[in-house]
Amino acid sequence: MDGYVLLGNEAVALGALHAGVSLAYGYPGTPSTEIIEYMQQVIEPKSGVRAQWCSNEKTAYEAAVGASAMNRRVLVTMKHVGLNVAADPFMNSAIMNIKGGVVLAVADDPGMHSSQNEQDSRFYADFAKLPCFEPHNQQEAYEMTRAAFDLSERFHVPVLLRLVTRLSHSRAIVRPNPSRDANPMVKFTGKDDFITLPATSRKRYAEHLELYKRLRAYAESETVNPLKPGDTDAPFSVITSGLGHNYFEENAEDLGFSPSVLHVNFYPLPEEKIRTLAAGSKRILCIEEGYPFIERLLRGILPVSVTVSGKLDGSLPPSGELNPDIVRTALKLPEPSSKVEDGHRNLAPLPGRPPQLCKGCPHRDTFKALNTALETYENHLVTGDIGCYTLGYLPPFEAIETGLCMGASITMARGAAQAGMYPVVAVIGDSTFMHSGLTGLADAVSSSVPITILILDNSTTAMTGGQDTIFESKGIRKVVLGLGVEPEHCVEMVPLPTKHEENSDLLRREIEYKGVSVVFAFRECIQTAKRKHTKEAKA
């Protein structure tokens, strides 16, 4: 076989395995989840390679730095908002003397298909002064993953690999190259390499700034950022990155001329190439998926006589995903005979289907019981978190009222309670609790706030497709007790329609308690249960 049909995420996973990766760590988050899942499917048990889910993105990233210190190659995966959680070690690791290659694959979600914002991870690479690869197809996702490991070890820095939903979740043929062996385990020897005391950090940061100059020089090489000269009388030149390149290519033939095109695959930006491109052009159109990252930087590189077009001047929409038609409009081409959306338009009109919890989902019974329990209070607050249960904000339950980020249900509840609100209930899932709820619970217990924390324990990370949680339910209960919740206020209910009265009474009792109480609503996600039964039936 000379090729595999792979998702962009699977191409990254295969690229990492063929690059001799020893470990992969991640936290599930759409659109990045399939990277670890694919590795878990294909890794040979005897190989010694491990791909594991972690409590959160920060712990995943820190484990990677630990493995790198032992000379191993490590892949870390997360979605864009997960990088906010891992930002602390990511920023600090920039000035460490990385040994085994560290590649951080982050999947951004322009258009917010399943995310709370659209943030663009290229800004984090720029912020940390670290290199970033941005593939525009599955083959590049495979090859750039390998190149990123080589670069990481060559320059001794972590390397970010930026993906977007449409690439992560679409398939194409990937032709692999010969595999490389894993690095042997060797403990680092440089005394200052993995420590960030101010004295060592100052020295390392000065070195890092010098290294950044070398990375900028590397970005000018033709292989990483190709510049294709066009017609000398073309009315504009084009800079593309990621999928923006594909959308441009789909329309390029209709232009009637060949603009000069710089395709940015690798950051820091190749400033010299950008100046070369601009020398023969009065206008540059910048086509990039995500924020106007390149476009903004261009304004500091180019003379004011060169007009820069893109998302900032309205040539392209400032938010959402790009597509070939949007790019076509920016290129000032006439409308195509069949538009991208036509496929949808030609379908028979479907009734609107607002997102909702699955029929039979345990959360439905929990929200019903909670709403009944809260009926007796004229005013109340229910803070929510990230997971399937965020849908409890919508009809028919309209139970939760807030949703900030992972773990914020508990911390927001604490703040609201200390601001004088009563009663306050925080709703959080088991996986999210282990991700970012623990520290909030410690805060709440330490200040004895009167809040009730409802842990919706369905034994899985349901929203991303049912990955294993790092602890089973019993383990989470021990953690809750260990953080100081009184045993008589760490209680369990089973969310079932037959137990509605019992559950709402239990919730009311805990809401009445003027301290921190934790209620586990324990019933398995029906989707996970179904998959398990199908697997067992096949076995």
- Which lies closer to ligand SF4 via its Cβ, residue 115 or residue 145? 115
Tally of CB atoms within 10 A around 122 = 25
- Which lies closer to ligand SF4 via its Cβ, residue 259 or residue 466? 466
Query: Min. distance of Cβ 269 from ligand SF4 in angstroms?
Result: 41
**459 contributes a contact to ligand SF4 by CB under 6 A:** no
List the one residue from 99, 328, 363, 414 that touches ligand SF4 (CB under 6 A).
363
**357 contributes a contact to ligand SF4 by CB under 6 A:** yes
Q: What is the dihedral of CA 154, 160, 165, 169, to 10 degrees?
A: 30
- Which lies closer to ligand SF4 via its Cβ, residue 201 or residue 527? 527
- Which lies closer to ligand SF4 via its Cβ, residue 96 or residue 388? 388
**473 contributes a contact to ligand SF4 by CB under 6 A:** no
**455 contributes a contact to ligand SF4 by CB under 6 A:** no
DSSP-derived secondary structure for 223-258: TTS-EE---TT-S-EEEEETHHHHHHHHHHGGGSS-
Query: Min. distance of Cβ 464 from ligand SF4 in angstroms?
Result: 10
DSSP state of 279: H
- The CA-CA-CA angle for residues 253, 259, 263, to 5°, reads 95
Binding mask of the shown chain, residues 92 to 131, with x at each position contacting ligand SF4 by CB under 6 A: ----------------------------------------
Query: Min. distance of Cβ 357 from ligand SF4 in angstroms?
Result: 4
Contact segment (CB under 6 A) with ligand SF4 among 52-60, 356-364, 430-438, 481-489 equals 356-364
Q: How many helices (H) and strands (E) does the chain have?
A: 21, 19
Determine the length of the chain.
Answer: 539
Q: Name the residue among 266, 22, 240 with its Cα closest to residue 155.
A: 266
Token code pair at residue 431? 């996986």
**386 contributes a contact to ligand SF4 by CB under 6 A:** no
- Which lies closer to ligand SF4 via its Cβ, residue 418 or residue 527? 527
- Which lies closer to ligand SF4 via its Cβ, residue 91 or residue 358? 358
Are 136 and 246 in contact by the 8 Å Cβ rule? The answer is yes
Query: To which residue do tokens 């398995």 refer?
Result: 524
Query: Min. distance of Cβ 364 from ligand SF4 in angstroms?
Result: 8
Amino acid (1-letter code) at residue 25: Y
Residues 6+ positions from 211 with CB-CB distance below 8 Å:
155, 156, 157
Q: Is the dihedral of CA 284, 287, 293, 294 positive or negative?
A: negative
List the one residue from 527, 530, 531, 532 that touches ligand SF4 (CB under 6 A).
527
Query: Min. distance of Cβ 429 from ligand SF4 in angstroms?
Result: 8
Task: Name residues contacting ligand SF4, limited to 411-450 (CB under 6 A).
Answer: none
**261 contributes a contact to ligand SF4 by CB under 6 A:** no
Token code pair at residue 487? 């045993």
Are 23 and 49 in contact by the 8 Å Cβ rule? The answer is yes
What residue ranges bind ligand SF4 (CB under 6 A)?
357-358, 361, 363, 388, 458, 462, 525-527
